[in-house]
Amino acid sequence: MSAAPPPPFQIVRMPGTGVDRLDTERATSLLKALSDKRWLRFGAAFVLGAVLVLWIIRIWLMVAQYGLFTAVGFDFGMYLAQVGALRSGDPVGLYQLDILDRYHQTLAVYGGPGGSVLQSAPVPYPPLFAWLLLPLALVPPLVAFLIWTGLNLLALFALAWRIAPLVPSSIRPWLPVLLLVFPGILPSLILGQPMLLLALATAELYLSLRAGRDVRAGLWLACLFFKPQYGILVGLLLLWKRRGGAVAGAILGGLVVLIGSLLVAGLPALLAYPGSLADTAAFRNDVTNPIDMINWRSLVLVAQTLMPGIGDELALGLVLVLGVLTVCLLGLIWRGPWNTHDRLWPARMAALWMATLVANYHSHIYGLALLGLPMAAALAIPGLSIRTRWILAAGMMVPGVLEPVLLFVPALRHLPSWLLALSMAAGLASILVETRASWQPRRWTAALHGA
């Protein structure tokens, strides 16, 4: 009797994580064959090096021309202004633009030659966020920005460490650099955003869900209460799939943020917080720069430019309709039982974050940091179609390479963001096709098999 053929894939235990990883000899041999080509390694190193050099030149030019806390460090400067308002004894000023501007203008001495007037903006974070940054107010703003950047770089290396078991060993030494040029990472560091810290939290959320540790996953999800627009879809998914432990963990973590904010700033400041979210909701808000986002809102604004007959009300309606359709498409992708060991579960998680970014009303390029680990896990799936691999990989790589180049061409500097939005929409459609077996009605499936 002949031996049974080897299975199409085998389950491999990731050491120290309790997470099962799918692997195949075919995928491994293909990746090894590619990694053995010296020209490919040299070409990749050249492209990565060129992208980093262009970013360094661009950052140096921005600092030389405008100074700090204008473009470089702008968002972090607003966080320091919020910390100043919290320390003033009148925490309601956390969300009053005139109060924030008073503290923000103290950073103008770090601007260009002779200083400049800084443009202030709302800071839509709960009061607890400003309280957590209080220690940085004890050092000069420049030192505080360097410390904050260092913390985010540590998060980058921790994220690379968590991604490492998902990729071939030949790629692991490159991971920090690959992540650094991944779209959204450097913009997050330049602006002083906390997205790398949140990306690490969402990576732990992914790994905890995969390992069946739902309560821990919910606690990590609660970190997104600092940027609640990114947690809406994953929260709805956990409710839909009846992941009670994860929902309970998220509620518990959310209560920590809520009660902590109440204790450090008081009830009036906490009640003023939702208004700061509304301050950024205007369809053509110049402060939030929606034309540079990676969502339907940005693409509809482009369509308005090409077709001036589209009014703002119709444009807003289009954004809402496209967002609803995206959520419905995500529902089809996730149709079926919750099974973290399913081969396509990583692709579904990548689809979840892509839908979050493209359907979100307020979604800038630095939000792509959240997609780092889920994207790596999806590309590591054995048997994933070549079409989907190319859409996911090229959809991130091409805009990532173009971004530092087009920053020197002001007329085209928004193009990478629009390409990223389109590539995520294409990625969702391709993953939907990958998961068609779980969403086709059974009677149609049976009829097709009969035919």
Higher pLDDT, 429 or 22: 429
Phi/psi of residue 65, nearest 5 degrees? -85, -40
Stretch 178-193: mean pLDDT: 92
Residue 349 and residue 203 in contact, taking contact as beta carbons nearer than 8 Å: no
Determine the average pLDDT of the residues in 54-76: 89
Residue 247 banded pLDDT, cuts 50, 70, 90: very high
Position 92 pLDDT exceeds 80: yes
Per the domain annotation, does 405 fall within a domain? yes
In this structure, what is the dihedral angle of CA atoms 82, 86, 90, 94, given to the nearest 10 degrees?
30
Low-confidence winner among 26-35, 98-107, 109-118, 407-416 (lowest mean pLDDT): 26-35
Look at 386 and 448; give whichever has higher pLDDT: 386
**Mean pLDDT confidence for 146-161:** 96
Q: Is the pLDDT of residue 396 over 60?
A: yes
Q: 381 or 41: whose pLDDT is higher?
A: 381
Calpha distance 233→230 (Å, rounded):
7
Q: What local confidence, expressed as pLDDT, does residue 439 receive?
A: 58
Query: In the chain, pLDDT over 90 holds for what percent of residues?
Result: 51
Q: Could you tell me the residue range of the domain that residue 295 belongs to?
A: 288-443
Q: How far is CA 259 from the centre of its chain?
A: 26
Per-residue pLDDT tens digits for 99-143: 998 999 999 888 776 557 788 888 889 999 999 999 999 999 999
Q: Is 270 a member of any domain?
A: no
pLDDT at 285: 67
Residue 445 has pLDDT above 60, yes or no: no
Query: Is residue 137 a part of any domain in this protein?
Result: no
The pLDDT of residue 437 is: 67
**Does position 22 have pLDDT exceeding 50, yes or no?**
no
Average pLDDT, the chain: 85
Q: Is the pLDDT of residue 29 over 80?
A: no
In a domain, 233, yes or no: no
| 280: pLDDT strictly greater than 90 | no
Q: Which of 29-33, 36-40, 286-290, 419-423 has the lowest mean pLDDT?
A: 29-33
Mean pLDDT across 346-363: 94
Residue 124 within a domain = no
Q: Which residue has the higher pLDDT, 41 or 328?
A: 328
Position 88 confidence tier, pLDDT thresholds 50, 70, 90: confident
Check whether 13 has a pLDDT greater than 70. no
Average pLDDT, integer, range 208-215: 94
Could you tell me which of 357, 289, 59, 360 has the C-alpha nearest to residue 186?
59
Taking residue 426's Cβ as centre, other Cβ atoms within 10 Å add up to 17
pTM for the complete prediction? Answer: 0.86
pLDDT, mean of residues 57-73: 88
Cβ atoms 181, 209 nearer than 8 A: no
Percent of all residues in the chain with a pLDDT value above 70, rounded to a whole number: 85
Lowest mean pLDDT among 48-52, 293-297, 371-375: 48-52
pLDDT at 45: 78
Would 428 be classed as within a structural domain?
A: yes
Residue 153: how many CB atoms within 10 A of its CB?
A: 14
Residue 290: which region, alpha, beta or left (left: phi > 0; alpha: psi -120 to 50)?
alpha
291, exposed or middle or buried, with CB in 10 Å at 0-12, 13-18, 19+?
middle
- Structural domain includes residue 181: no
- pLDDT score of 326: 96
**Higher pLDDT residue, 243 or 41?**
243
**More reliable by pLDDT, 342 or 444:** 342
Residue 28, pLDDT > 90, answer no
Q: What is the mean pLDDT of residues 46-64?
A: 88
Q: Is the pLDDT of residue 7 over 50?
A: no
Domain count, the chain: 1
pLDDT at 44: 73
Q: What per-residue confidence (pLDDT) applies to 286?
A: 65
Predicted local distance difference test score (pLDDT) of residue 5: 39
| 196: in domain | no
The token duo for 355 is: 């839908």
Residue 134: closest CA among 274, 227, 259, 264: 264
Q: Region 218-223: what's the mean pLDDT?
A: 96
